[in-house]
Every structure is written in structure tokens, then in C-alpha cells.
Amino acid sequence: MEPATEPRFVTTRRVEFVDTDMAGIVHFSNFFRYMETAEAEFFRSQGHSLASTKNGSGVGWPRVAASASFKAPAYHNDVLEIRIYVRRRGFKSLTLQFEIRRGETLIATGQVKTAYCRFRPDQPIESLEIPATFDSLIGPYDPAADKEPVGKDEG
């Protein structure tokens, strides 16, 4: 699937020595961490956090699904560019797309679906409607434009 022409957010990430494995390249699991770190920076750019707690309760964005394709290896000391696209701003969930590049070389693409949730001690995680305070970050919720039905799981 094609990302929108303009990324919503762009940042960079240095590949650390510990991110590599015995094949001499970044371990694939670390690309998921790079995506989350870029997402956290995207959130912070407007004063939001991926997770915050108070009095033992909190709100956050646990991952519902994640996928990535690995196009070319990345190496220690590489500076990677990470581009974030808002793929879908749902009622209760958010799907972001990612492109990871080193110069002109496409290293990986990925997609992560998260849900806005409340954490309370000893209670199940509960998904919530995404507040309007996130509209300037990820766009307002538009039921007419939303391609997926708003259901318990799919909101």
C-alpha cells in the first residue's frame, strides 16, 4: 500500500552497536523498537506521551498489531531516517505507517496499529475513544472517510 505523499513526521536514529547481531546487521526486532521510538518522538512533538501514569493508573497506546518488511540491511553507526504516515485515524485505534531509509536506500517499511487504552491496577486493559486533544497530531476522526467499521475491536 502506498503511503500518503507527505510524511506526518520525520526523525533520525543512529544504529547502536548493541542493535546488531552476529550477522553484522541490525536485528529485525530492533526495527520495531525504532518505529516505536520514532512514534514516541512524534507524540512528544505535541506534548503527548505513549504512556503516562498517575496514582497507579494510566493511559497509553498498547500495540494491537505490527508488521514490517525488511528490504536492505542496516549497520552499526548508520543514521537512519524514519518517516511516519498516519494510515488510519480510527475512533479508538490509530494505524501508523513507517519508512526507514539510509539515504536513498529503503531499509524497511512497517505498519503499527495501536489502541488508546486505560490501565488500572488489577483490571483488564480498557480501550477508550481517542480524545480530541490528539486531533492536531493525527487528524480528527471522520466517520465518513473511515474505511473500516467502528466496532469493539476495529474502532
- How far is 106 from 101, CA to CA, in rounded Å? 5
Q: How far is the CB of 97 from a second copy (least distance, A)?
A: 13
Which one of residues 68, 94, 137, 138 is an interface residue with a second copy (CB under 8 A)? 68
Contacting residues for 30 by C-beta, under 8 A, at least 6 apart: 19
Measuring CA to CA, how many Å separate 112 from each of 87, 95, 141? 9, 6, 18
Q: With contact defined as beta carbons under 8 Å apart, do 64 and 92 qualify?
A: no
Which one of residues 58, 88, 150, 154 is an interface residue with a second copy (CB under 8 A)? 58
Per CB under 8 A, 51 contacts a second copy: yes
Instruction: Pick between residue 75 and residue 135 the one whose CB is nearest to a second copy.
Output: 75
- What is the per-residue burial (b if ≥16 Cβ within 10 Å, else e) of 93-104? bbbbbbbbbbee
Instruction: Pick between residue 60 and residue 139 the one whose CB is nearest to a second copy.
Output: 60
Cα radius of gyration (the chain): 16
Instruction: Pick between residue 1 and residue 17 the one whose CB is nearest to a second copy.
Output: 17
Which one of residues 12, 69, 105, 133 is an interface residue with a second copy (CB under 8 A)? 69
Residues that bind a second copy (CB under 8 A): 16-18, 20-25, 27-30, 32-33, 36-37, 40, 44, 49-51, 53-58, 60, 62-70, 73, 75-77, 119-122, 125
